[in-house]
Structure 1
């Protein structure tokens, strides 16, 4: 109830409920109100083989759980608030596809619902949408006349994104081919063959199958871990390489802080070579 009232997305609610349930089990019958900082640390220690990001997600979930308890006057303190988050690796180079690779990957989207799946790829790779944002997209979020889409992002924040002209035409065609949902009230833009809103897992599966075929034909990319989110990385990198102001990229991606957008300002190997090619060592020194 607390998360619904606070506006948390369905995906976040599901993840936090799972994490909170794990925490309650770890208490072995101890009341959460009586638990201490040590109990939270023990939970995180039990997940020591998990990544720092995963452990920080667990901590965030437990903190949120206690915020709810405090609001409902079922606890007077939040022991999880006293636990420090794990230090994650900073300045890590994002995994992304070059623009020509992104175009090439589209050729490996096949199947009965090829046009629908291509539209999904285009929204993530050429508009920077998160997989959850594609999942939540409704028919009325596509503003054909304006050439924009309204995106419900993290923190329940709306963001209106201009769509490339060719993608507007493509989305219009996909809208016409849209599968009729079982429920008349279902207004999802992307519908599964069962007549329901296409789930996040189904979208990820489309990406997984496509990337597998793509990498089989491109052995040089076999070690690259590609996913839906890597399409978002590719979009951000492409924007910055094309000289788009980082503040504009921040708004397009729906980031709360420009520091998050900064991770995409990495310099690639080709740019390093071009920079070093301008260095001229005097011949007289080495002769």
Structure 2
């Protein structure tokens, strides 16, 4: 433990207890604690009750100057905001200096990277190896049901209702949602559950088990995705490879639904977005679709003069 951590030992412990009680995943707890520790290190042992908005903004500015993305800067702000919120709720502080600071504007017009249906088929065909049925089920849940990596990680066997073909998903904001399992996906999910690896602990409820007999971790899923995307892009020159990751499968699901005419509100519900604004990022239109739309116009023009 370094000096800054020993200065704020009570606050860090309280923050961790608060996050556990609020149901934050182990992954989020770890990320938030790392951000908060970095912030506290720069305070030079200043008591938290004398931290002002200026100190938080100054830290966030230094983070931006290091070249991190707007999304990472916003996450670090969320971590610090959460720390002060927790300490106020636990009656260790009375003011939140991180409240009211504006988020960085992320690139609104940047199109999410996604795979079209043909690419998705090729990606799923690139899944191989000893644990193929498990990995195939994991990626089908993401690409044809829109689950986040963390949501796949937290799935338990009891979350699947085979009779109603429904999956109960524990999502962001600690909200549950029911996602219908497509008819074509159900047999793959059921096969993966039937061939589930023997867990290390007999009472392990996790739907997906790692080679070590534990719940398949978020890192584990991301690693399997990276390997599969590597095979999927095999033969593509390095300069032309796209920055695919497991989360891009969720982007692909949302894009496919909207292109097939699903309304935005339904897609929002299926993805588990708390705000419809988040869902609108998937309404990107390709040049080909613009051209096709324009070609449908019936234009009656006056005669051109000779």
Contact 1:124 1:231 in 2 (8 A): yes
Shift of 1:286: 8.3
Aligned residues: 287
Contact 2:136 2:188 in 1 (8 A): no
Shift of 1:237: 0.5
| Match of residue 26 from structure 2 | 10
Deviations 1:99-152 (A, max 9, x none): 111111111111111111111110000000000001111111111111111100
Residues 102 and 221 of structure 1: CA distance in aligned 2, closer, same or farther (over 3 Å): farther
Higher relative contact order (CA 8 A, sep 6+): 1
| Match of residue 160 from structure 1 | 178
> 1:49-198 maps to which residues of 2 (within 5 A)?
49-198=67-216
Whole-angstrom CA distance in 2 between matches of 1:156 and 1:21 = 24
Shift of 1:45: 2.1
Contact 1:215 1:222 in 2 (8 A): no
Shift of 1:248: 1.1
Residues 138 and 116 of structure 1: CA distance in aligned 2, closer, same or farther (over 3 Å): same
| Secondary structure class of the residue paired with 2:168 | strand
Shift of 1:155: 0.9
| Secondary structure class of the residue paired with 2:167 | strand
| Match of residue 285 from structure 1 | 304
| Secondary structure class of the residue paired with 1:151 | strand
Contact 1:148 1:162 in 2 (8 A): yes
Task: In structure 1, list runs of 5 or more residues that go unmatched.
Answer: none
Shift of 1:84: 2.1
Contact 1:63 1:78 in 2 (8 A): yes
Shift of 1:219: 5.3
Q: Would you say 1:27 and 2:43 are equivalent positions?
A: yes
Shift of 1:77: 0.8
Task: In structure 2, list runs of 5 or more residues that go unmatched.
Answer: 1-16
Q: Would you say 1:45 and 2:64 are equivalent positions?
A: no
Deviations 1:174-197 (A, max 9, x none): 111110001012111110111011
Contact 1:215 1:221 in 2 (8 A): no
- RMSD value over aligned CA atoms? 1.9
Contact 2:149 2:246 in 1 (8 A): yes
Deviations 1:16-69 (A, max 9, x none): 111111111111111111111121122112212111111111111101101111
| Match of residue 4 from structure 2 | none
Q: Would you say 1:256 and 2:274 are equivalent positions?
A: yes
Whole-angstrom CA distance in 2 between matches of 1:71 and 1:80 = 15
